[in-house]
Amino acid sequence: MKFVKAIASVLLVVGFLYALSRPWGPVPALGPFISPYTGFWQNGEIPLLSRINDPDFSLDSLREEVTIRFDDVGVPHIFAKNNYDLFYAQGYVTARDRLWQMDLQTRAAAGRLSEVLGARTVEMDRRSRRMGMGYGAEVNLKMAMSDPISREALLGYTAGINAYIEQLPGRSLPIEYKLLGYEPEAWTPLKCMYMLEQMTLTLAGGGDEIAMSNLLKSLGKETMGQVFPDYPMLMESPIIPAGTPWDFKPLPIPVPPVEVEPAELSFTNKNQKKTPFTEPIYEGLGSNNWAISAAKSATGYPILANDPHLELTLPSIWYQVQLHTPEINVYGVSLPGIPGVVIGFNKNVAWGVTNVAADVLDFYKIKFRDTSRAEYWYDNQWRKTRKREEIITVKGSDEPVREYVVYTHHGPVMYQENEGRSGPALAVRWIGHEPGNSFRTFYELNKARNYDDYRRALTYYVGPAQNFVYADNSKNIAMTVNGKFPLKWNEQGKYLLDGSEPGNDWQGWIPAAQNPHVKNPPRGFVSSANQSSTNPTYPYYINWRFAPSERAIRINERLAAMERATADSLRMLQNDNFSVMARTILPTLLNYLKTVPLTAPQKAAFQKLESWNLMNNPGEIAPTIFEEWIVAVSTAIWKDEFYSDSLAFRYPTRDRTMYLILNQPDIHWVNNVKTPQRETMTDIVQQSFKATLDSLVARHGPMSPTWQWATVKDTEILHLSRALKPFNSTPIKNGGGGSIVNATTHHHGPSWRMVVELGPEPRAYGLYPGGQSGNPSSTLYMNMLAKWEKGELNELIYLKTPDEQNPRLTTTWTLTKK
């Protein structure tokens, strides 16, 4: 009996030990997780106090002393004596605040999520591998390490991150590591390259040529030209103002191969919608930047503004930092994982970026000789492929997933023939595979003193192509549509390309000096909002479609009217909620409704729209109706011909849709071919109006304050995991929209807002919707959110010396060589 009791009780305890030491589904191993000594308790930050974390400490491999001063929003102001120490300290503090974010984003880029998340991310990882992210990161690393300046920065940054990881006790690991049950691994310079690849993927990793080719096959070349024109038909206000002279002798434009046979290019893909790299680009996602000349400003110097729009997450994609050495003194935002400042200003210059929707990703149809895929047909002969073994380790599985990705001279084969769909194998030619040293661009901008420095800095840049706005205290303003752009024949890559035809290859590059640019234009300002880079007079082909023009039109109208502007004028423009789309199309839509009888609720909605001031303000109901209605109208016009359950299709652009409504109301596309009767524009407008109201009533009840735009738009900032709800933002009530300068939507929006007044001393303002700390329990986790929601900015503290006094500075760290 004694024996039984002893055995039973010991077994019971062993059972407890086992159960508490292992994860159960999404629940981490509870023993270590709930212990107050090692678990989540240790991640609770004592408000204010905990940031004063041993202010003097010595670190391995630091060369000289570094001083870091923190301000009241948690921004580190780093003072170093050389570049290595500067980036070492940047790596150290960035890891202190954002370690898990850096880990997750580089894992996603490298296709290594499954190592820590298990089988559910294998398909995501496989796509990253097939996209050649690793190949791109490696060729970029080779280039960066062969340049002494970027090499030193990458090594310093890496050593700083690793110094932080090495001293980090297990109990202090970021909460996400504890929840997911893994530990950080050492940082490497390659991971910095993966971060750059990830940005290139986000900003230049899309394309819709599969959908376009399917449409080409069903509609023919002539119709495609009418429905998908290469320049907006209704309205545009290009980045480089019309009339800017092209002061260069262009290279000869390549000649397209004799005949592009549409029947050959079809590609059926049932899983199309789930394949992110070929998703139609979401219209209205983008960024704004502009600079006004000294003549337009109240300060007598230029003023520059930038707000890049991205998916909003917590922690934020950006991290503010000031970097100071005897050679550099720059303030701005960095991307955790990349040394230097990406958007910012120094004593003499300021710069910012918006995305260029250049077509720098093309798919090529590949014909293999046999199933070994060792050779493919190109230029009338068989060419050898290369293979790259990809091993995806999967948590909870003994066997890794192995795959040989086949590389042609175009690039990796992303889709194998008839794999889960019918159609040919497709290789991807992508700017992310092109060796470059984009870090050097940012480094040179960080220490730029004048316009020539700015132009020289841009020559290092490969991708993702950006519109670099510039202003300096010598009173210059400028804009360069910058990146390495392939030299293409007109419409090359609008549709799938035949990979066996040499005439379809990228034919070299547009010379960097011939990238569209403008300096001190007569209108007194430069601006960009992802719209067409130039009007059709520019000799080279960059893409057939850019972001819709509404934001650009509004910005340019307001800047043209601005006089004696201040930083606050530009801040208010960043928060402008005016709908150019509504101004353009709403009166016409309402006129159609005037000809038909309306029910009482429809009349009420009609009146709301008719009396609307066209502002997408948070408390308005009209934008809720309009934004949904315009989508319904577009769907009603196009869905019958431009949607298929089995094939990837896409709708024509918003500009094309509005052009049709205004100028071609009787065109055959309006009729719904799926119904026996013949629909007119009046039918379309009326039916979609009814459908919009029905849908709103179904979701929000009869028209009431629950229909307010901020409530329906429902902007919400999710934690990067997208799964840990308690780490999400508090609810956000603001205005804006996809076509609005204040481009806030459900999950996207201005990820950083900055306004810089140039002058003898710069004065700058900025913030992002989040906080410097990645720890959800920190008072600095989303401390900037409330001001961001209201459209306010923080003044940015730009220090000139390490011991300068400022009431907003809190703690000082002194780092010394061990």
Partner 1 sequence: MRVVNNYLIILVATAVLQLFMPWWVIVLVPFAVCLWRSRHPGKAYAASLAAVSTVWLTYATFIHNGTEGNMSNRIAELFSLPNGAVLLTIVSLLSGFVAGFAGLAGYYVRQLFVKEAVEPELEPLSGKF
Query: Which of the stretches 37-45, 145-153, 395-403, 491-499 binds partner 1 when contact is defined by CB under 8 A?
Result: 37-45
Q: How far is the CB of 784 from partner 1 (least distance, A)?
A: 17
727 binds partner 1 (CB under 8 A): yes
* The binder of partner 1 chosen from 401, 572, 724, 809 (CB under 8 A): 724
52 binds partner 1 (CB under 8 A): no
Query: Which of the stretches 13-21, 73-81, 687-695, 710-718 binds partner 1 when contact is defined by CB under 8 A?
Result: 13-21
Give 6 or 186: the residue with its C-beta nearer to partner 1. Answer: 6
21 binds partner 1 (CB under 8 A): yes
Give 179 or 321: the residue with its C-beta nearer to partner 1. Answer: 179
Query: Which of the stretches 14-22, 211-219, 659-667, 789-797 binds partner 1 when contact is defined by CB under 8 A?
Result: 14-22
Q: How far is CA 569 from the centre of its chain?
A: 26
Nearest 5 degrees, angle CA 60-CA 109-CA 198?
A: 95
* The binder of partner 1 chosen from 22, 23, 24, 43 (CB under 8 A): 43
Cβ 533 vs Cβ 542: under 8 Å: yes
Q: What is the DSSP letter of 529?
A: S
Q: How far is the CB of 313 from partner 1 (least distance, A)?
A: 17
The structure tokens listed for 292 are 């006004």
Of 474, 465, 391, the residue nearest 430 (C-alpha): 465
How far apart, in Å, are the Cα atoms of 133 and each of 36, 128, 411, 428, 446? 41, 6, 11, 12, 27
Distance in angstroms (rounded) separating the CA atoms of residues 215 and 495: 9
Distance in angstroms (rounded) separating the CA atoms of residues 106 and 53: 27
Number of Cβ atoms within 10 Å of the Cβ of 470: 28
25 binds partner 1 (CB under 8 A): no
Query: Which of the stretches 42-50, 475-483, 697-705, 730-738 binds partner 1 when contact is defined by CB under 8 A?
Result: 42-50
* The binder of partner 1 chosen from 5, 594, 668, 800 (CB under 8 A): 5
Task: Identify the three-state secondary structure at position 312.
Answer: coil
DSSP string, 377-406: EETTEEEE-EEEEEEE--TT-SSPEEEEEE
Query: Which of the stretches 289-297, 473-481, 719-727, 804-812 binds partner 1 when contact is defined by CB under 8 A?
Result: 719-727
Distance in angstroms (rounded) separating the CA atoms of residues 732 and 786: 8
13 binds partner 1 (CB under 8 A): yes
Distance in angstroms (rounded) separating the CA atoms of residues 238 and 655: 14
Instruction: Give the binding-site size for partner 1 (rule: CB under 8 A).
Output: 37
Cβ 126 vs Cβ 111: under 8 Å: yes
298 binds partner 1 (CB under 8 A): no
282 binds partner 1 (CB under 8 A): no
* The binder of partner 1 chosen from 22, 24, 47, 393 (CB under 8 A): 47
Q: How far is CA 357 from the centre of its chain?
A: 11
Q: How far is the CB of 9 from partner 1 (least distance, A)?
A: 4
* The binder of partner 1 chosen from 22, 24, 41, 456 (CB under 8 A): 41
* The binder of partner 1 chosen from 57, 88, 113, 175 (CB under 8 A): 175
Q: How far is the CB of 108 from partner 1 (least distance, A)?
A: 22
**What is the pattern of x (binds partner 1, CB under 8 A) and - over residues 772-811?**
----xxxx--------------------------------
Q: What is the dihedral of CA 595, 596, 602, 605, to 10 degrees?
A: -10
Give 43 or 297: the residue with its C-beta nearer to partner 1. Answer: 43
Q: How far is the CB of 19 from partner 1 (least distance, A)?
A: 9
The structure tokens listed for 120 are 């559910």
How far apart, in Å, are the Cα atoms of 642 and each of 234, 478, 696? 20, 40, 25
* The binder of partner 1 chosen from 25, 245, 726, 807 (CB under 8 A): 726
Distance in angstroms (rounded) separating the CA atoms of residues 439 and 422: 41
18 binds partner 1 (CB under 8 A): no
Distance in angstroms (rounded) separating the CA atoms of residues 643 and 645: 7
Query: Which of the stretches 421-429, 484-492, 526-534, 724-732 binds partner 1 when contact is defined by CB under 8 A?
Result: 724-732
Distance in angstroms (rounded) separating the CA atoms of residues 100 and 81: 29
The structure tokens listed for 296 are 């337009």
Give 47 or 250: the residue with its C-beta nearer to partner 1. Answer: 47
Number of Cβ atoms within 10 Å of the Cβ of 501: 19
Q: How far is the CB of 718 from partner 1 (least distance, A)?
A: 14
Q: What is the contact surface with partner 1 in residues (CB under 8 A)?
A: 2-3, 5-6, 9-10, 12-13, 16-17, 20-21, 31-32, 34-47, 175, 724-727, 776-779
